[in-house]
Amino acid sequence: MAPSSSPRRRSRWLRPLLGGAVAALTAVGVGLVMPDANAAASTLGAAAAQSGRYFGTAIAASRLGDSTYSTIAGREFNMITAENEMKPDATEPQRGVFNFSAGDQIYNWATQRGMRVRGHTLAWHAQQPSWWSGLSGSGLRQAMIDHINGVMAHYKGKLYAWDVVNEAFAENGSRRSSNLQNTGNDWIEVAFRTARAADPSVKLCYNDYNIENWTYAKTQGVYTMIRDFKSRGVPIDCVGLQTHFTGGSSLPGNFQTTLSSFAALGVDVALTEVDVTNSSTSQYAGLTQACVNVPRCVGITVWGVRDSDSWRSSESPLLFDGGGNKKAAYNSVLNVLNSAGGGTDPTSPPPSGTTPPPSGTGQRIVGAQSGRCVDVPNASQTSGTRVQLYDCNGQTNQAWTLTSSRTLTVYGSMCLDAAGSGNGSAVQIYSCNGQANQQWTVNSSGTITGVQSGRCLDVWGTGNGQQVQIYDCNGQANQRFSLS
């Protein structure tokens, strides 16, 4: 895998809106800006959040009792992957007998701290339950389907994403030979179709390593499969590039091309298991820069907290040393994330090459992707001011998604929709399953109109509830809006 990445400034402006009334506000104008857009964040998670991204780590349940470990993890990250605890051998040790104790330990630890969770992984040639080894053909296929259904039912509505299929390609770009592959070439799409039906709210990802170099055969093999899936309507929302730079593999110069090429197929991309031999600062900075340069690169996860926690600890590949101290690579990543910013300031011009939102009305929400607040300029500051939302024209209704602090926050993967069809219908929030991020405008009657590709408001968070709190993003008092 080769060196460095070529930067392209990430758009801080969302694409203009199409038609479709979504919501009516009691307030007059609506704008969305980032708080403290110019302030450098001091943790990885906060720095990534400035551009609407997450920064995550893999967590081992067995280490959570180590206070140095859990303190760093709790402070720095806002996305968590279970390093081993949600894999098939852990979750279904005997046929039909599921065990979620370790997975739930991680899930609970993360969500109690307001973090989101990526599920890893449902179907993989490795870390299979021992009883799978006695199966083949349709029997193994059914076991895989049952496993996906069983695990996804347990975590239904709770996770940000699932790595549905992991590492299914060989280095030469063909399918990896495995017992799952031997059940038929359609095993991957069956896994994804099963997963979508099991939990329509979670993003479904394909995850692999050595797919960072655009010209590498394996990258092209995976790309061809994703393109095929998208063209045939096989449900897939994201591609995870593990980004293990080790053993002669290093940051390729075309990494950003790889990310943007996958993204152009209509999927999110994420760096899911990052570690770099001896924590090369240039490689860490370069891989971070490549992600922030690609709008649909939604986040970065490092594969462990301290070097001593790594699956390849002898290579010291992570951002904290064995004593829990920040390494030079930590600062290189933080600096790139901070320089990416992402605060959406409606008064600043959009970067060249991007499409600005409609101008002149003073009544628009901008920055749904990169901002995380919905602001209502000139509106009442009174807590309890009501927001009324209209039906989103027949889209599937969804579940609430609020942050642990009961704040509606804006992000690139969730949407706000209204159940029912009438003015005043109850409002629900749901996953847009990989829709392009959106922007909303408000017309002169105070109706939000024209959210692109689905007429939804993007949000993210955890938990269910019935109230949305909308922060004022200009340093004013918080504004709470009940939905009706």
Residue 119 CB, nearest approach to ligand 9MR (Å): 12
Which of these, 175, 171, 172, 180, lies nearest to 247 by C-alpha position? Answer: 171
CB of 33 within 8 A of CB of 474?
yes
Q: Which is nearer to ligand 9MR, 110 or 211 (CB)?
A: 211
Look at the block and give the residue holding tokens 């690139």. 412
Helix (H) or strand (E) holding 344: none
H helices of 84-183, where?
88-91, 101-112, 137-154
Distance between first and last Cα of the chain: 53
Of 30, 69, 72, 83, the residue at the interface with ligand 9MR (CB under 6 A) is 83
Residue 207 CB, nearest approach to ligand 9MR (Å): 7
Residue 62 CB, nearest approach to ligand 9MR (Å): 10
Size of the site for ligand 9MR (CB under 6 A): 9
CB of 440 within 8 A of CB of 17?
yes
Q: Can you give the three-state secondary structure of 267-292, one letter per residue?
A: CEEEEEEEEEHHHCHHHHHHHHHHHH
What is the x/- site pattern for ligand 9MR, positions 325-344, by CB under 6 A?
--------------------
Of 98, 100, 131, 311, the residue at the interface with ligand 9MR (CB under 6 A) is 311
CB of 198 within 8 A of CB of 158?
no
Residue type, 302: V
Residue nearest to ligand 9MR (CB): 311
Q: Which is nearer to ligand 9MR, 160 or 440 (CB)?
A: 160
Residue 107 CB, nearest approach to ligand 9MR (Å): 17
Residue 127 CB, nearest approach to ligand 9MR (Å): 5
Does position 126 interact with ligand 9MR (CB under 6 A)? The reply is: yes
Does position 76 interact with ligand 9MR (CB under 6 A)? The reply is: no
Q: Is residue 212 annotated as part of the catalytic site, yes or no? A: no
Interatomic CA distance for residues 275 and 244, integer angstroms: 5
Q: Is residue 167 annotated as part of the catalytic site, yes or no? A: yes
Helix (H) or strand (E) holding 97: none
What is the x/- site pattern for ligand 9MR, positions 341-380, by CB under 6 A?
----------------------------------------
Q: Which two tokens stand for residue 411?
A: 């992000």
What is the x/- site pattern for ligand 9MR, positions 271-290, by CB under 6 A?
--x-----------------
What is the x/- site pattern for ligand 9MR, positions 85-124, by CB under 6 A?
----------------------------------------
Q: Which is nearer to ligand 9MR, 132 or 471 (CB)?
A: 132
Does position 309 interact with ligand 9MR (CB under 6 A)? The reply is: no
Q: Which is nearer to ligand 9MR, 304 or 454 (CB)?
A: 304
Report the helix count and the strand count for the chain, using DSSP H and E: 10, 18
Does position 127 interact with ligand 9MR (CB under 6 A)? The reply is: yes
What is the x/- site pattern for ligand 9MR, positions 179-218, by CB under 6 A?
------------------------------x---------
Which of these, 123, 290, 298, lies nearest to 213 by C-alpha position? Answer: 290
Q: Which is nearer to ligand 9MR, 133 or 138 (CB)?
A: 133
Does position 84 interact with ligand 9MR (CB under 6 A)? The reply is: yes
Q: Which is nearer to ligand 9MR, 126 or 426 (CB)?
A: 126
Q: Which is nearer to ligand 9MR, 47 or 318 (CB)?
A: 318
Which of these, 358, 205, 175, 189, lies nearest to 269 by C-alpha position? Answer: 205
CB of 223 within 8 A of CB of 216?
no
Residue 48 CB, nearest approach to ligand 9MR (Å): 21
| Residues 36 to 75 in contact with ligand 9MR, rule: CB under 6 A | none
CA dihedral for 271, 272, 278, 281, sign (positive or negative): positive
CA dihedral for 137, 143, 145, 147, sign (positive or negative): negative
Residue 478 CB, nearest approach to ligand 9MR (Å): 40
CB of 425 within 8 A of CB of 389?
yes
CB neighbours (10 Å) of residue 464? 12
Kindly state the greatest CA–CA separation across the chain.
67
CB of 462 within 8 A of CB of 414?
no
Q: Which two tokens stand for residue 231?
A: 């063209």
Helix (H) or strand (E) holding 335: helix 328-340
Q: Which of 83, 92, 167, 212 is catalytic?
A: 167
Of 128, 213, 242, 369, the residue at the interface with ligand 9MR (CB under 6 A) is 242
Q: Which is nearer to ligand 9MR, 241 or 451 (CB)?
A: 241
Interatomic CA distance for residues 474 and 57, integer angstroms: 31
Q: Which is nearer to ligand 9MR, 85 or 472 (CB)?
A: 85
Interatomic CA distance for residues 442 and 224, integer angstroms: 40
What is the set of active-site residues?
167, 273
User: Where along the sequence are the contacts to ligand 9MR (CB under 6 A)?
Assistant: 83-84, 126-127, 166, 209, 242, 273, 311
